[in-house]
A and B are shown apart, each in its own frame.
Chain A
């Protein structure tokens, strides 16, 4: 089983809202990732968690706040977003933080109004 699940599938939020994206994997992977993908563009890395600790933050604005409650779960907390933050947010996981064989979830389509 190489499944990574993400909820919700779609999210519409206003600029003053607070919401969270969730990601889950049960493959025993110890690294988890958040990517942002704009339309017709490749995914861009946002955060990497390795063994439940934040190991990479690609200079992401503080209105995005990641959290890794345990080795299977990854959250992305959203607050005071801007319309330009509208995108597909993809979660991925891999065995370890060497990035080998990253498996992606279906993504959350976020629209900020």
Chain B
């Protein structure tokens, strides 16, 4: 079945790097996504990676994909207090997005 797993919490200090991890089960997923949700807001598409790639970098964000282990990670360099939010990993199985439960990132100054 389809399932996306994430750790629930991550706490870092401002200026450190944050790494949020995700595992998925559907090997036919074409795209994998990271969304950010701030309190009371909708979901912001941060970045995505095609399943035939193993890394994608976009400014402070680096996505790593290990297809063999079905493991996806999001690294945020120089984490800022404004990065505090819930981060959802999602896999695309055609039309539907299957979301993980979300990782709450807390950044302390």
Q: Which residues of A contact B (CB under 8 A)?
A: 2, 4, 6, 31, 40-43, 45, 48, 50, 55-56, 90, 92, 97-107, 109
A-B contact pairs, 7 of them (CB 8 A): A40-B102, A41-B101, A42-B100, A42-B102, A43-B99, A90-B42, A98-B94
Q: Are B45 and A99 within 8 A (Cβ)?
A: no
Q: Given the complex, which residues of B lie within 8 Å of A45, measured CB to CB?
A: 96-97
A35 to B22 CA separation, bound complex (whole angstroms): 22
Interface size class of B (residues with CB under 8 A): 20 to 34
Q: Is the CB of A56 within 8 A of B42?
A: no
Q: Does A106 contact B45, Cβ atoms closer than 8 Å?
A: no
Q: Flag if B44 contacts A104 (CB, 8 Å).
A: yes
User: Which B residues form the contact surface with A (CB < 8 A)?
Assistant: 30-31, 35, 40-45, 48, 88, 92-97, 99-102
Q: For residue A105, which residue of chain B has the nearest CB?
A: B42
Residues of B within 8 A of A90 (CB): 42-43
Please give the distance in Å from B43's CB to the nearest CB on chain A: 4
Cβ contact within 8 Å between B40 and A109: yes
Given A42-B88, A42-B101, A42-B102, CB of A104 within 8 Å of CB of B96: no
| Bound complex: CA A107 to CA B35 (Å) | 15
Q: Which residue of A lies closest to B45 (CB)?
A: A103
Residues of B within 8 Å of A97, CB to CB, are 95
A101 and B48 alpha carbons, distance in the complex (Å): 8
Cβ distance A30 to chain B, nearest Cβ, rounded Å: 12
Say which residue of A41, A42, A106 sits within 8 Å of B42 (CB atoms).
A106
Considering the complex, give the chain A residue whose CB is closest to the CB of B88: A42
Give bound CA distance, A25 to B31, whole Å: 23
